[in-house]
Structure formats: C-alpha cells, structure tokens
Amino acid sequence: MTVGRHELDVRTRTRTEVVDITEAVRRIVRESGVDQGLVHCFVPHTTAAITLNECNDPRVVADLIAHLDRLVPWTGSWTHEGNAAAHVKASLLGHSVVLAVDGGDLVLGPWQGLFFCEFHGPRARAVHLTLQPR
C-alpha cells in the first residue's frame, strides 16, 4: 500500500444495514505507512452514508436503524422515485468522515467505531479513503 487514494469494497445483504468497517480502514492505514496525518473516508453513493458511533454494544446499531426508520419511513408522501427515504437517511448521516492518524493507527475514542450505512441494498458499494501524511 501507499499514501494516497484507496478503495474499500463493502457488500451489503439487506435493504438497510450498518456495517462496522473500523478494522478494514485500520488495516489500510497501517499498510499505507502513514505514521501521522489524516484519512478522509468518503461514500460516493446517494443512498448510503458513513458515521462514527459506539461500537461495543450492538444495540446502538439496532437503535440507529429503528429510529431512522421511524423518522424517515419508506412509505409517505415522497415526490420522487421509490428510494426517497434512502436519499434522506443518507443526507442526514452524511457522506464523509475525516479521522486523525497517529502512530500508524486511527485516533478513536475507546468506544468509537466507523460504520458504513446502507439504505437501499443489497448492493456492492465502495468507500474511498484518501490518506494525507503530516
């Protein structure tokens, strides 16, 4: 691996799915050789998102999915195609996260993990990672 742009492939199996990608991103950062700097994680999809959240309790992910479904239901008075709810959910969470790298590893809190959020699956998706050394 080298400094620069990398792509992480994510395969989802259901319409709504939250996938912990922390270790996969960590592996790419470690293999890049970047000791200090930043990693920009970008999801180039309009019906998927990326978020940083608590990774130790799986109920956090279940709550996230359940409450987004209540907040943004699939049925409703949408004015565009059938995946409108997925577009709104992705916009609410966002399409990028920037994390610090120190000592060749991600700088995260003890309970933090990085999650790819699928809202219109199942699909083959990608997360673009750009490593910027300090």
Give the pLDDT confidence of 74-122 residue by residue, as tens digits: 987 899 888 999 999 999 999 999 999 999 999 999 999 999 999 999 9
110 prior amide bond cis, ω within 30:
no
Q: Are 94 and 49 in contact (CB under 8 A)?
A: yes
**Predicted local distance difference test score (pLDDT) of residue 77:** 87
Q: What is the mean pLDDT of the chain?
A: 96
Domain that holds residue 87: 5-133
pLDDT at 2 over 70: no
Number of domains in the chain: 1
Q: What is the CATH number of the domain that holds 125?
A: 2.60.120.460
Taking the C-alpha atoms of residue 31 and residue 4, their distance in angstroms, rounded to an integer, is 12
pLDDT at 1 over 60: no
Residues 6+ apart with CB under 8 A from 116: 10, 18, 19, 21, 43, 48, 49, 50, 125, 127
pTM for the model: 0.95
62-75 burial, b if ≥16 CB within 10 A, otherwise e? eebbeebeeebeee
